[in-house]
């Protein structure tokens, strides 16, 4: 089901809640809403063995973060430091804020 927005964005601090990296925290490096996936700093590291090429004459092993499903991460609230679901609230001036479901404080958008 492709969506247009995720509960997390690039630059958010998140906690992984499922899979091999459960409990890990890191920053969202990339959000891919069309595939409901995110790339999180230091999470889901993969290695690629690179054959020597004109650009990279040494070749060798390149490590990189592979995308994970966005449903496997929660926002980390900067106020209470808990991994929490985010609610939404519309300000009097019309902007939509994300709210920590645990402490009720707004979570700033990076
Ligand atoms: Zn909170």
**Overall average pLDDT of the 79-98 stretch:** 91
59 CB contacts (<8 Å, ≥6 apart)? 49, 50, 51, 52, 53
Distance 87 CA to ligand 1 centre (A): 11
Provide, rounded to the nearest whole percent, the portion of the chain with pLDDT above 90. Answer: 72
Centre of ligand 1 from the C-alpha of residue 36, in Å: 24
Distance 104 CA to ligand 1 centre (A): 6
Give the mean pLDDT of the chain: 92
| Cα–Cα distance list, 109 to 1, 49, 62, 97 (Å) | 25, 37, 31, 8
Please report which confidence band the pLDDT of residue 91 belongs to, taking 50, 70 and 90 as the band edges: confident
Per-residue model confidence as pLDDT tens digits over 34-86? 999 999 999 999 999 988 988 888 889 999 999 999 999 999 999 999 999 99
Give residue 10's pLDDT.
96
CATH class of segment(s) 13-85: mainly beta
């Amino acid at each position: 089901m492709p969506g247009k927005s995720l509960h997390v964005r690039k630059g958010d601090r998140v906690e992984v809640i499922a899979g091999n990296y459960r409990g890990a925290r890191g920053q969202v490096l990339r959000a891919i809403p069309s595939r409901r996936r995110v790339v999180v700093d230091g999470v889901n590291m993969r290695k690629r063995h690179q054959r020597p090429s004109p650009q990279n004459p040494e070749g060798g092993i390149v490590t990189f973060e592979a995308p994970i499903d966005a449903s496997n991460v929660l926002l980390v609230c900067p106020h209470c430091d808990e991994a929490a679901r985010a609610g939404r609230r519309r300000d009097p001036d019309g902007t939509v804020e994300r709210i920590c479901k645990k402490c009720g404080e707004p979570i700033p958008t990076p």
